């Protein structure tokens, strides 16, 4: 009982603190501190409730147990991370986004193809592409190649749609100006239209960064060598070792957030001129 | 309608590539069979064989179409082999999850718009929550909820909800904040209370933002429901058909489940598009 009361009191105190902080002056430090406090509060609530109600660790292990397990099985987690993220997700992400970008440039000169590809691409982007995973595992075998293939298929269309949209982003006046300068098609593309497309391209890259990790992990449910995050999650669930599962989830969350953050940082450097980055 | 011809061209190109790939991928098996039977295949015989294999590496489109026809029209709906039966199971989980996700998302958005503390503390975590590959956690959620005695529709719906609340939150926060200063000031000069301001100004002006989010949420929750069916051991639903097909190498079954999931997704998104048109037209917002 003490655990629950303690957690609730902690929650109340932190809530009041956050309300106070958010009403105060808005510095960079505060805008980082407030969500941090909220996150810590969630963890404390979780720990308190699990201990207070004596919830079996088979159902929901407390964060402390997950932390201990995480620290104790770093080598396994690292092997899984390399297999799934570095080999599967990253190679698929680079291949998929790269080829989508090249296709978008290739169809750029044909408005006919663009008008055809955009609706189809939008349609395919809304489809449950993860379902392709068993087929691709069948084609490319159990190792990371099939995972990369799933990621390629998943990221291709969102990236294509965003790049094609982006290449249309420069307006008539700007393109006319390039023409009065006597710029060739490729000069216009490199100097005006690609830079103007960057916000859209990075939007696509950000969406794809989360898709890539999901694709690589889910593909492992359909068959994988004896390492990999998806493999570990499905086998440890079978053994009811949920603390290990949560440790893998932590790795996935950290990797996903870091990946997203890295893309967002590059975006900030490349599209510094865009209104959304100046605010 | 002016994009009809281009779309048609692209779609037919996809079909041509599909048939071509089917020939290329299935030819190995066709030659293998011929070798074992000690006959040599001419090219046209090989092509003909790649179109009718029982377990092809890549089934030809007409094989998939035939399978879908066989498992929807020719089977009774109550039969466990009927795709409509499996589709309905997936659809019900999708819709339940979508409804919960939309409700939760809108509530969260209302809170975020009205409370500065909530905006600052919750919003970053909402964004972080989506970098967690929830689909990867799906098996655990299903198993854990099963252990507590919650089984059937709800666990799958939870996964759908987790995937679908995010676009709704983002869209609604943007939408509820879309009335500009002039409009807000006008409400204030009328001495409008916060609830009145919400119902008469904020909510109506958020509608154009809500519907595109709903479309994304719907597609996401279908994916959630399908993946949620994978760990239940291939009992029922389109996801189960995928898994069973991959266990037994029934490629035609995998593709037919995949295509019906695609049709389902397209129909659901189109339905929301229709609702969007009607609503916005009646509110006089359709451009």
To the nearest whole Å, the CA of A90 is away from the closest chain B CA by: 15
Report d(CA A75, CA A112) in Å as an integer.
53
Cβ atoms of residues A46 and A62 within 8 Å: yes
| Full 3-state SS string of chain B | CCCHHHHHHHHHHHHHHHHHHHHHHHHHHHHHHHHHCCCCCCHHHHHHHHHHCCCCCCCCHHHHHHHHHHHHCCCCCCCCCCHHHHHHHHHHHHHHHHHHHHHHHHHHHHHHHHCHHHHHHHHHHHHHHCCCCHHHHHHHHHHHHHHHCCCCHHHHHHHHHHHHHHHHHHHHHHHHCCCCHHHHHHHHHCCCCHHHHHHHHHHHHHHHHHHHHHHHHHHHHHHHHHHHHCCCCCCCCHHHHHHHHHHHCCHHHHHHHHHHHHHHHHHHHHHHHHHHHHHHHHCCCCC
To the nearest whole Å, the CA of A191 is away from the closest chain B CA by: 29
Q: What is the ipTM of this complex?
A: 0.71
Pick the residue with more confidence: A8 or B94? B94
Query: Per residue in B234-274, pLDDT tens?
Result: 577 888 887 777 777 788 888 888 888 888 888 888 899 89
Which of A121, A123, A126 to probe by mutation at the B interface, max B CB count within 10 Å? Answer: A126
Look at residue B286 in the predicted model and tell me its pLDDT: 64
- Inter-chain CB pairs, A–B, below 8 Å: 170
pLDDT in tens, chain A (279 residues): 777 888 888 888 888 887 787 777 777 787 778 888 888 888 888 888 888 887 777 778 888 888 888 888 888 889 888 888 888 889 999 999 999 999 999 888 888 888 888 778 877 776 777 777 878 887 888 888 888 998 998 889 888 888 888 888 888 888 889 889 988 888 888 888 888 888 889 888 988 888 888 888 888 877 778 888 888 888 887 787 888 888 888 888 888 888 888 988 898 888 887 776 665
Fold for the domain defined by A70-278: MetI-like fold (1.10.3720)
Where do we find the tokens 């409400």? B187
Closest residue in B to A39 (Cα) is: B125
Residue B111 forms contact with A (CB below 8 Å): no
Q: H or E segment at A63?
A: helix A63-72
Interchain contact, A237 vs B132, CB within 8 Å: no
Look at residue B282 in the predicted model and tell me its pLDDT: 87
Q: Which residues are CB-neighbours of A257 under 8 A, at least 6 positions away? A: B128, B131
**Closest to B136 (Cβ–Cβ): which among A22, A38, A252?**
A252
Look at residue A279 in the predicted model and tell me its pLDDT: 52
Q: What is the mean pLDDT of residues B159-176?
A: 86
Quickly count: other Cβ atoms within 10 Å of residue A237's Cβ. 20
Nearest CA-CA partner of B273 in B194, B206, B218: B218
- The proportion of chain B whose per-residue pLDDT surpasses 70, expressed as a percent, equals 93
Using CA atoms of A215, A85, B138, B108 in order, give the dihedral in degrees to the nearest 10: -90
Nearest CA-CA partner of B273 in B232, B195, B212, B231: B212
- What is the token pair recorded at B205? 């002006």
The pLDDT of residue B128 is above 80:
no
The domain locations on chain A are 2-55, 70-278
């Amino acid at each position: 009982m003490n655990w629950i009361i303690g957690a609730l009191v902690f929650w109340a105190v932190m809530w009041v603190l956050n309300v106070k902080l958010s009403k105060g002056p808005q510095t960079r430090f505060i805008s980082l501190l407030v969500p941090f406090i909220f996150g810590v509060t969630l963890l404390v609530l979780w720990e308190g409730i699990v201990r207070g109600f004596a919830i079996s660790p088979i159902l929901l292990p407390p964060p402390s147990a997950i932390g201990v397990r995480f620290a104790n099985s770093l080598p396994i987690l690292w092997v899984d991370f390399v297999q799934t993220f570095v080999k599967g997700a990253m190679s698929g992400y680079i291949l998929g986004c790269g080829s989508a970008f090249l296709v978008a440039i290739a169809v750029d000169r044909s408005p006919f193809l663009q008008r055809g590809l955009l609706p189809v691409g939008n349609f395919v982007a809304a489809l449950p592409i993860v379902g392709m995973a068993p087929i691709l595992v069948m084609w490319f075998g159990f190792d990371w190649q099939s995972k990369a293939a799933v990621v390629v298929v998943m990221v291709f269309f969102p990236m294509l749609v965003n790049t094609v949209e982006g290449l249309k982003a420069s307006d008539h006046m700007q393109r006319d100006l390039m023409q009065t300068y006597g710029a060739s098609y490729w000069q216009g593309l490199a100097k005006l239209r690609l830079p103007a497309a960057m916000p859209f391209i990075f939007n696509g890259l950000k969406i794809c960064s989360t898709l890539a990790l999901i694709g690589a992990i889910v593909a492992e449910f359909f068959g994988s060598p004896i390492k990999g995050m998806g493999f570990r999650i499905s086998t440890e669930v079978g053994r009811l070792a949920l603390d290990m599962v949560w440790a893998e989830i932590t790795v996935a969350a950290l990797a996903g957030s870091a990946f997203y953050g890295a893309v967002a940082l590059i975006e900030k450097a490349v599209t510094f001129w865009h209104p959304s980055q100046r605010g | 309608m002016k994009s009809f011809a281009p779309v048609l061209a692209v779609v037919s190109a996809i079909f041509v590539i599909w048939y071509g790939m089917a020939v290329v991928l299935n030819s190995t098996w066709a030659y293998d069979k011929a070798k074992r039977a000690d006959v040599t295949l001419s090219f046209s015989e090989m092509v003909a064989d790649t179109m009718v294999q029982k377990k092809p590496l890549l089934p030809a489109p007409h094989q998939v179409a035939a399978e879908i026809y066989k498992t929807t029209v020719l089977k009774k709906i109550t039969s466990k082999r009927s795709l409509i039966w499996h589709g309905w199971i997936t659809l019900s989980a999708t819709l339940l999850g979508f409804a919960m996700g939309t409700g939760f998302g809108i509530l969260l958005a209302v809170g975020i718009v009205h409370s500065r503390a909530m905006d600052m503390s919750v919003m970053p975590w909402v964004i972080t929550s989506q970098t967690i590959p929830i689909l990867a956690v799906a098996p655990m959620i299903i198993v854990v909820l099963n252990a507590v005695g919650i089984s059937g529709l709800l666990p799958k719906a939870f996964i759908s909800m987790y995937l679908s609340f995010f676009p709704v939150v983002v869209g609604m926060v943007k939408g509820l904040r879309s009335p500009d200063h002039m409009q807000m000031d006008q409400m204030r000069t009328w001495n409008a209370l916060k609830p009145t301001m919400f119902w008469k100004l904020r909510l109506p002006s958020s509608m154009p933002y809500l519907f595109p989010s709903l479309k994304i949420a719907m597609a996401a929750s279908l994916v959630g429901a399908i993946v949620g069916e994978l760990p239940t051991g291939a009992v029922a639903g389109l996801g189960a058909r995928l898994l069973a097909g991959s266990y037994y190498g029934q490629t035609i079954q995998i593709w037919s489940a995949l295509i019906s999931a695609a049709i389902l997704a397209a129909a659901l998104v189109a339905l929301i598009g229709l609702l969007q048109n009607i609503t916005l037209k009646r509110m006089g917002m359709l451009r």
